[in-house]
Amino acid sequence: MSRTEVLSRIDADELVALTRDLVRIPSVVRPGDPSATEAAVAAYVEQWMRREGLEVEVQDVAPGRPNVMGGLGDASAGPTLLLEGHTDVVTEGNPAEWTHPPFGGDVVDGRLYGRGSADMKSGLAAAMIAAAALKRSGVRLGGRLVVGALVDEEGDMIGAKHLCTTPMGRALSAAIICEPEQNELCLEQRGVVWARVTVRGRMAHGAMPEAGINPITALGALLREAPALERRLRRICRRSPHLRPPTVTPTVVLSPAQGVPQSNVIPSAAQATLDVRLTPGPDADAVGKEIDLACQRAMQACPGATVEWQPVNGYRLATRVERTEPLVRAMARAVRQATGRPARFGGVPGSTDGTILRMTLGIPIVTCGPGHRLIPHQVDEHVEVTELVDAAKIYAVSALNFLRG
């Protein structure tokens, strides 16, 4: 039977070695340093996919920053499923704080350590091994499977945005986002809007405040509006057992907005960023109106100042798919078939490349991958090897179920 045949071709040692190789190629993106991109790890993935006989497409997203896509199966025979991963990782911080070297790929007591071990070179490796197992087994898929290794998920998600503009992106029917979620099936992801608020007043001498309009006063009023904004968003967003309710968190405060700060100068402008997290429900308009209201109230509290905002990087709304979605059914069955355990459901606290795919292409996405949800971006990041192996099996069987021949 094809499932047993495919699962027998998933080799734990090979999967660990592949993950280790990927972790050992640093791919922290350092703006301004053209040698610090995803290029080296992308080249490794490309070569690996070619060796396995996948049909490879390399999409140049930016200089030294390619999406690498590897496909198998026949798109005319059914839907196209994407197993999505990203090749960039966040900074390792201070290597001296790590017990295991950040790019060493140490395996100790059933855990593989390193920056990107969970987020998300393990998920990417599991997807690659799953595709290779399907390819090696010779099974005929009723559709097409694509493994995508995208750039810049930790930045502006230009890899996912680019993919959505390509024929390959537009041909996708559904996607599994292989981010670390303890192999739970996450049908919901929180959304995010970074609201950059600019307050303008009038520059003046600090000794003669009556001659100016102090934007910092209005900025203070805006920060005091944050809890009320959060409460209003909680009213218009749906509650979910798997997601924290909406939050509004000031993360950046800047005054003056430009130029040199001076103790005796009231600046002409100041800026703040609100990190607004959302659960499913409202559209961009409805969210925008609530942020508008917070700005208006801050303006009323400080006559003469103007308070305006714009989203940094657009709106990334919360996403949700229903349990009745064919991809969800295929995956829930796959978890049981591949691991012998019932599927566990969960939710993603932040946004992912899947947010872009869901919002732009309208396709169903499920986020599911190896690694503890809270471990990404920490020192001594690691993944449990058993979870890693389970993920590869879940991906392979999900593809078989979803792309039934």
CB-based contacts of 249, cutoff 8 Å, min separation 6 = 226, 274, 275, 276, 277
Sign of torsion over alpha carbons 322, 328, 333, 338: negative
Task: Give the whole-angstrom CA distance, residue 146 versus residue 54.
Answer: 9
Would you give the DSSP letter of residue 202?
B
Report CA-CA distances (Å) from 51 to 46, 94, 245. Answer: 9, 36, 46
Q: Which stretch binds Zn ion (CB under 5 A): 171-179, 187-195, 273-281, 331-339?
A: 171-179
Per CB under 5 A, 363 contacts Zn ion: no
Please tell me whether residue 119 binds Zn ion under the rule CB under 5 A.
yes
Residue 187 CB, shortest distance to Zn ion, in Å, is: 18
Question: Does residue 120 belong to the site contacting Zn ion (CB under 5 A)?
Answer: yes
Nearer to Zn ion, 160 or 174 (CB): 160
Stretch that binds Zn ion, among 174-182, 194-202, 287-295, 383-391 (CB under 5 A): 174-182
| Piece of the chain touching Zn ion by CB under 5 A; list 178-186, 270-278, 326-334, 383-391 | 178-186
For helices 284-300 and 215-236, what crossing angle results, to 10°? 140
Q: Are 403 and 81 in contact (CB under 8 A)?
A: yes
Among the residue ranges 113-121, 186-194, 365-373, 380-388, the one whose residues contact Zn ion (CB under 5 A): 113-121
The rounded distance, in Å, linking the Cα atoms of 304 and 140 is 69
Number of chain residues interacting with Zn ion (CB under 5 A): 3
DSSP-derived letter for residue 231 is H
Secondary structure (H, E, C), 117-129: HHHHHHHHHHHHH
Give the contact letters, 209-248, x = binds to Zn ion (CB under 5 A), - = no.
----------------------------------------
Rounded to the nearest whole angstrom, what is the least distance from the CB of residue 84 to Zn ion in the complex? 10
Paired with 144 in beta bridges are 73, 80
Q: Which is nearer to Zn ion, 119 or 384 (CB)?
A: 119
Choose the stretch contacting Zn ion; rule: CB under 5 A; options: 105-113, 136-144, 164-172, 176-184: 176-184
Q: Which residue's CB is nearer to Zn ion, number 52 or number 387?
A: 387
Instruction: Select 57 or 84, whichever has its Cβ closest to Zn ion.
Output: 84
Binding site residues, Zn ion, CB under 5 A: 119-120, 179
